[in-house]
């Protein structure tokens, strides 16, 4: 467990420099599917585990519906929140901000990838989108560096909100290798996005 958590920490540590032009390599995922397939419960990223230990109230909230109906109004809200957070938060690593390799926090003017994702999740949830449809997701960029994004699960597919890509993209177009994401049923649990 400790080795898995350490590996997850190393993957996420480099997320600030994640490359938006990464190769999209998800052989386990059916590329034509609107929503990503999950393959059962998996380990929790160390940063998220520590975040939930520190902020138990944030991780014990009810998930709600695991999917939202995507309307033009909702799409506008998603795009606006993604644009605003990407514009207002400046990218820095956790080492630069806190002096540690990995720490998940809401950003205060600066943050790294998971901080952007947490902030977008918080704001979209406050607008009425259920947490079960707002899933923190981790993967790798083309250089093998760890990266975190927010996945919005809708009836028209999964959409990715990223701090290095300004557009909100379908999961297939986000050019990431997906590893795992939060469970839509319980925000403290994570599910694998790869079989095995």
- Of 18-22, 146-150, 182-186, the range with the lowest mean pLDDT is 18-22
- The answer, yes or no, to whether residue 30 has pLDDT greater than 90, is no
- The answer, yes or no, to whether residue 150 has pLDDT greater than 60, is yes
Q: What is the predicted pLDDT for the residue at 5?
A: 40
- The answer, yes or no, to whether residue 18 has pLDDT greater than 90, is no
pLDDT bracket for residue 79 (50, 70, 90): very high
CA distance 39 to 55: 27
Q: Which fold has domain 2-186?
A: C8orf32 fold (3.10.620)
pLDDT 10s digits, 52-72 = 999 999 998 888 899 999 999
- The secondary element (H helix, E strand) that includes residue 81 is helix 72-88
The whole-model pTM stands at 0.86
Nearest to 82 by CA among 156, 13, 174, 14: 174
- The answer, yes or no, to whether residue 139 has pLDDT greater than 80, is yes
- Ordered alpha helix ranges (H), 89-184: 94-98, 113-126
Domain locations in the chain?
A: 2-186
Nearest to 45 by CA among 186, 195, 180: 180
pLDDT bracket for residue 27 (50, 70, 90): low
Average pLDDT, the chain: 87
Q: What is the predicted pLDDT for the residue at 195?
A: 86
If you average pLDDT over residues 174-192, what whole number do you get?
93
CA distance 102 to 120: 19
- The answer, yes or no, to whether residue 17 has pLDDT greater than 50, is no
- The answer, yes or no, to whether residue 51 has pLDDT greater than 50, is yes
- Of 12-21, 74-83, 93-102, the range with the lowest mean pLDDT is 12-21
Q: Are 138 and 181 spatial neighbours (Cβ–Cβ below 8 Å)?
A: yes
Residues whose CB falls within 8 Å of the CB of residue 196, separated by 6 or more in sequence, listed in order: 39
- The answer, yes or no, to whether residue 173 has pLDDT greater than 80, is yes
- Of 58-72, 126-140, 152-166, the range with the lowest mean pLDDT is 58-72
């Amino acid at each position: 467990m400790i080795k898995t958590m350490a590996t997850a920490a190393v993957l996420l540590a480099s997320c600030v420099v994640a490359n938006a032009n990464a190769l999209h390599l998800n052989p386990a995922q059916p590329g034509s599917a609107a929503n990503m397939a999950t393959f059962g419960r998996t380990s929790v990223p160390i940063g998220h585990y520590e975040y939930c230990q520190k902020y138990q109230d944030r991780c014990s909230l009810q998930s709600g519906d695991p999917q939202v109906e995507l309307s033009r109004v909702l799409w506008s809200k998603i795009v606006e929140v993604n644009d605003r957070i990407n514009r207002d938060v400046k990218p820095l690593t956790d080492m630069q901000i806190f002096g540690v390799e990995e720490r998940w926090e809401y950003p205060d003017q600066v943050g790294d990838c998971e901080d952007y994702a947490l902030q977008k999740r918080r704001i979209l949830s406050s607008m009425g989108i259920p947490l079960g449809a707002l899933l923190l997701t981790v993967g790798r960029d083309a250089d093998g560096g760890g990266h975190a994004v927010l996945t919005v699960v809708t009836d028209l597919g999964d959409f990715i909100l990223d701090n290095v890509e300004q557009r909100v993209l379908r999961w297939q177009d986000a050019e990431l290798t997906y590893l795992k994401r939060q469970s839509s049923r319980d925000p403290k649990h994570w599910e694998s996005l790869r079989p095995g």
